[in-house]
Amino acid sequence: MVAALLGGLGLWLQWWWLIGVTAFLWLAFVAFFRDPLGRRPASAQPNDFTSPADGRISAVLPIDHHAAVDGPALVVRIFLSVLNVHVNRMPCAGTVVDVQHTPGRYLDARTEESAKVNESNLLRLRRADGLVIGVRQVSGAIARRIVCRAEPGAQFALGQRFGMIKFGSTTELILPRPDRARAHVQVGDRVVGGVTLLATLAGDRA
């Protein structure tokens, strides 16, 4: 609506620069909120986990304790630039246990500190076999709104959309039993949400 008004004003006043700027901003807006269809996961094996977001891997690290799994965990962190698709997708099928929102700061999402202190949304998902994993949405310096449509008790399929973070941000996949989890990505790799295989729990793949 705003773009149409500005474009109409530019046409009426013959301000071609305004029409050009309006068209550019409208295309940028449409590109940012794009939601590609027809994505298929690289694997649908029970113990495989696909990427919950588009972007670049910024960390793959085991930690001693994470609230999402109430114990040791493997965290795979994905940085989303403003050019990436920002729709978040489920890394596996399961039922939402709970969603915990934590207020915080808005540091640059490319920094290590941002993952610790920025506003975040932690979603815990229970698979049919009882395994609980976590997906965490973290805001950035530009991203000031986390969108999450998942509610406790809701069931999701592998790759199904559950939310987004508007503008540059971070999304994390949190798996239990890091000693049995094998990452298929490393820092710097580009990943595609709902498609790229991020990790596997040992014992189900060669």
151-202 tens-digit pLDDT: 999 999 999 999 988 766 899 999 999 999 999 999 999 999 999 999 999 7
Q: Which two tokens stand for residue 7?
A: 């474009």
Angle at 121 between CA 127 and CA 187, to 5 degrees: 80
CA proximity to 97, closest of 61, 60, 64, 70: 70
Q: Where are the domains of the chain?
A: 2-32, 48-201
Name the catalytic one among 58, 114, 120, 169: 169
Per-residue pLDDT, 205: 42
Per-residue pLDDT, 125: 97
Residues 6+ apart with CB under 8 A from 9: 15, 18
Per-residue pLDDT, 40: 87
For the domain spanning 48-201, the CATH number is 2.70.70
Indicate if 81 belongs to the active site: no
Contact indicator for 106, 119 with CB cutoff of 8 Å: yes
- 90-136 residue pLDDT tens: 999 999 999 999 998 877 777 778 778 889 999 999 999 999 999 99
Per-residue pLDDT, 14: 57
- 14-62 residue pLDDT tens: 555 545 555 544 444 544 555 667 788 988 898 999 999 999 999 999 9
Residue 204: band (very low, low, confident or very high) from pLDDT cuts 50, 70, 90: very low
Q: Which long-range contacts (CB under 8 A, 24 or more apart) does 181-188 make?
A: 181/74, 183/60, 183/74, 183/76, 185/57, 185/60, 185/76, 186/57, 186/60, 187/57, 187/58, 187/59, 187/60, 188/56, 188/57
Rounded to two decimals, the pTM is 0.81
